[in-house]
Amino acid sequence: MNNANFTAAALVPQILEGSVRATDVLDTVFATIREQEPRVHAFLQVTEDLARSQAEQVDRKIAEGKPVGPLAGIPIGIKDNLCVRGGRTTCASRILEPFVAPYDATVISRLRAADAVFVGKTNLDEFAMGSSTENSGFGATRNPIDLERVPGGSSGGSAAAIAAGMCVLALGSDTGGSIRQPASFCGIVGLKPTYSRVSRFGLVAFASSLDQIGPMAHTVRDAAMLLNVIAGADANDSTCSPDPVPNYVEGLEDGVRGLRLGVPREYFGEGLAPDIKSGLEKVIHRMEREGAELVDISLPHAPYAIGTYYLIATSEASANLARYDGVKYGFRAKDVKNLGEMYRRTRSEGFGPEVKRRILLGTYALSSGYYDQFYVKAQKVRTLISQDFESAFAKVDAILTPTTPDTAFKLGEKTSDPLQMYLVDIYTVSANLAGIPGISVPAGRDRSGLPFGMQVLGPKFGEPVVLRVARAVEMLRPGEAS
């Protein structure tokens, strides 16, 4: 069984009818993990015993004629900042290395009910702070398309696992592009839902007003199938929307005829790699030939998004990460003389350099005398960015942009220059600041053969139109560099 192009949409019907067993699918996945994982390092933990038990249960239910869930037997990778009861949840940080989650995140409970199969916890930048998965406390992940390059981040382990055929679906989290950017670098689909569409209960917090859990997959249809399972109200998350969840698979094949698609001039200017720009322009013009109306729009506050994001995100991170002090759980420094020394040594030894940098930035922005100058001003600009999108969506149904300014860069290329690393997310952070949905879908390859994605943005709770447009992009011939 070749799993290079495994999709949930193709496998679920075969598993339900009994022509393929869930355990057969799992055997193929684990054979690929044994071959690829030593080179790629997509996983922090491979949970073969749990996965086999879940797959066997699916096969047993089907043999006995019992109902099964919509993701029956589908192997899924889980980013290791999501709690899975009884297993370690490390956030790729030494400070949480010994922590065992006492409960399931809501999305995990829903995946269990859907009869998905958990193959392992995927690597990430420590506490989801990074754009390359090089900041992991347990070693970097490599891009399976080119092992000398990064897979993106912070959900790089999930993206790499799918691209290498080590799972069919994966969960990531997206605070400023951490699902969409690695999806672009690895040539897969990654969706950040509307803020509040998916419960954050059981997601270890980075920046609570920005974090969102979302699906990663080979195809748009698979991403829609996974979103169907994880979306919806949750009493454990007071920020989670009570609005009904539509069937995201319906309408995927409706095409773009009659849709108004916005093309923001700010996203196609200086800094965008020529191969990506020309490739995306080809795709956009093909969308027009398919019946879409292209509308030139402006998002005037887009240039301020990166600065705004890194003030708000680091401020929230400094507050959220204050709880890791060695008292309640996780790592605690040894041989300390007093409480103050325990706090200092636990945090200095347990956190990596990028996490420390962001805690310091956020603490400074929130400090007396600077709060109004930095944090309050950033929140005002965030409002302006949100208003830009509201104005744009009064004119268009969806917005088309690049996902990233360039294709995957080489390992170590940007680690010494944090600003250059931060700018990798220049096209993705605005969606988090505005709370709107966004998806990256493969749109072509550059002259080196590296993939790049097109980002489709929609209004709040506009996932149906975002998925519909993304599916249309997927159906078009990719915008290859020439």
Active site residues: 79, 154, 178
Q: Which pair of structure tokens corresponds to residue 403? A: 């996902």
Strand order in the sheet with 398-402: 43-46, 117-122, 75-79, 169-173, 213-217, 189-192, 438-445, 451-457, 398-402, 260-264, 293-297
Distance between CA atoms of residues 88 and 422, nearest Å: 29
Distance between CA atoms of residues 476 and 441, nearest Å: 11
Identity at 138, one-letter amino acid code = F
Distance between CA atoms of residues 213 and 200, nearest Å: 7
Phi then psi for residue 170, to 5 deg, are -155, 155
Q: Which pair of structure tokens corresponds to residue 293? A: 């109306």
Phi then psi for residue 190, to 5 deg, are -140, 130
Distance between CA atoms of residues 87 and 422, nearest Å: 32
**Using CA of residue 32, residue 33, residue 36, residue 38, what is the dihedral sign?**
negative
Q: Which pair of structure tokens corresponds to residue 265? A: 């001039």
Give Cβ neighbours of residue 17 (< 8 Å, ≥ 6 apart): none
Angle between helices 463-475 and 274-289 (to 10 degrees): 100
**Using CA of residue 66, residue 71, residue 75, residue 81, what is the dihedral sign?**
negative
CA 125 to chain centre: 12
